[in-house]
Amino acid sequence: MSLDDLHLNLRNLTPEDYPQLKTLMDRVYHDIGGAWPKRTIERLISEFPDGQIAIEDDETLVGVALTARVDYEEFSNPHRYDDLMDQREIILNAPEGDAMYGLDVLIDPAYRGYRLGRRLYEARKDLCKSLNMRAILAGGRIPNYHQHASEMSPAEYLDQVSRKEIHDPILSFQLANDFQVKRLLRKYLPEDEKSQGYATLLEWNNILFEPAESVLDTRKTQIRVGAVQWQMREFSSVEAVLQQAEYFVDALSDYQSDFAVFPELFNAPLMGLQDRAAQQDQIAAIRFLAGFTEHFKTELSRMAVSYNINIIAGSMIEEHDDGHLYNISYLFHRDGDIEAQAKLHITPQERRDWIIEGGDDLKVFDTDAGRIGILICYDVEFPELSRLLADQDMDILFVPFWTDTKNGYLRVRHCSQARAIENECYVVLCGSVGNVPSIENMEIQYAQSSVFSPSDFAFPHDAVLAETTPNTEMIMFSDLDLTRLTVVRNEGSVTNLKDRRQDLFDLRWRDWSWKSGSRQEDA
């Protein structure tokens, strides 16, 4: 399967999906009876449509989570799988149930390794919160138990799995997704020979659960941003850079970040794969660096999908067919899409030493965690750009940067703080550190990555949500509440966007599409 063809979509299951679902269930559950009858699935969808979640790749069903509503007191106690259905294999949904019951999660074997199961579990958790339900319960098979049954009891097996001395494909996965084992269930699914009829009663508690009458707003408001303050260093190979990047992506994903952010030109040390003499021709060196960009795009897109995290890959050099060079930031969505934002304003050094050219387009990107903009380093020092993005309802502005001295860094920092205040948005600043004397133009770096907010009562007194230790490689996290932006824009102490004197001035983006031939000039 090619990553270039991968396009994932999370949606609810429909009755029309049954032929594909049957094929998938027969493949995954061949050892315990295969697919449920069509009438079972249709009834389940009819009675609890939100709980039936599917992942498709270009209209092909590749993952499914089936869920029922149940009474917590009944199903948090010992029960059997058959207690969930009647004699006609109809799932017994409880319309007023206060808990969700995870019936099945199944992934097409060809798509394993992309963490689609985790994505389905997270969707279930979000649904549990939005419906203000008490918990998610599940009866979990232990399919590797038959390999150890002659030497240990089920309880001993659970203990060793929990201590990671034994791996069980189902129980280990559920424990990794914050489910707790409440008890051992006997004769849960007698035909399950691999589990020898045993199962675990698992529970994920909704810590936000409240009685329905006291819930004012259950809409998810928090997103998490993770940034990598990346140390520039000598690398022996392309694979070494990608391995380091994946290490950070993995770490940020483990903390359930919605975004992983890297600095501007974070892969620039690859110019050091040439000897020092070859680097003296700096134009040839930067073209050499551009030669790695397509490989990086493929691998970073794989990481975004596999670790279920949107990646803002700082920036990389791209060489177009006409030989022109651009400094481009790529947004790798966790559904497989890739979007790009070119640096528009080129510094004197980039223009002089590397003949980098500025792009002609400015975009706001829709993501599953808000509307975002990307301005690369120098671009944030031009306030018109962020104002144009704010006019398109941008929530978060990402600023990957690369500065050598502290005064250069402070220009970027102070301008970024101004952008957060004047546009009433969050700004995430992510830079690189380290000294690499052996590589031309990389002798020194200075950075202190930060997250800035508007300056009002709902935010920190200094409008700084998070910041790193200067000149130290590390990761930084910040939780952003998007509803606070709505409040400050409408009811803040000052309302910068609302109070603009548009009767006196305005701002517009010129149409430059004629440069590429997509629009003809008037005759």
Please indicate whether residue 165 is annotated as part of the active site. Answer: no
238 CB-near residues (< 8 Å, 6+ apart): 270, 292, 295, 296
Closest alpha carbon to 41 in 28, 56, 54: 54
Name the active-site residue from 56, 264, 299, 473.
264
CB 107 within 8 A of CB 70: no
CA distance 185 to 197: 8
The residue among 261, 264, 263, 274 whose CA lies nearest residue 235 is 274
Answer yes or no: are the C-beta atoms of 147 and 160 closer than 8 Å.
Answer: no
> 147-151, long-range: CB within 8 Å, 24+ apart, which pairs?
149/196
Looking at residue 91, the DSSP 8-state letter turns out to be B
Q: What is the DSSP string of 467-492?
A: EPPTT--EEEEEEEEHHHHHHHHHHS
Number of Cβ within 10 Å of residue 214's Cβ equals 7
Q: Catalytic residue among 128, 297, 377, 473, which?
A: 377
Q: Give ∠ CA 477-479-485 in degrees, rounded to 5.
A: 135
Q: Which two tokens stand for residue 410?
A: 């402070």
388 half-sphere exposure, CB direction, 13 A CA radius: 16
The rounded distance, in Å, linking the Cα atoms of 309 and 332 is 9
Q: Residue 494: what residue type? A: V
d(CA 413, CA 380): 9
Say how many Å lie between the first and final Cα of the chain, rounded.
Answer: 49
Helix axes 38-47, 18-28, angle to 10 degrees: 120
Q: Which of 128, 203, 343, 467 is catalytic?
A: 343
- Using CA atoms, how far residue 253 sits from 59, 444, 501, in Å, is 27, 30, 43
Instruction: Look up tokens 């934002």; give the residue.
Output: 341
DSSP SS3 for 404: coil
Distance CA 265, CA 314 (A): 6
Residue 149 CA to residue 408 CA, distance in Å, equals 65
Which DSSP letter does residue 522 get? P
Distance CA(120)–CA(140), nearest Å, equals: 16
Distances (CA, A) of 360 to 76, 294, 344, 381, 508: 59, 21, 7, 17, 14
430: annotated active-site residue: no
DSSP 194: T
89 is catalytic: no
Q: How far apart are CA 271 and CA 236, in angstroms?
A: 11
Sort 7 into a burial class: Cβ within 10 Å, 0-12 / 13-18 / 19+.
middle
Catalytically annotated residues:
264, 343, 377
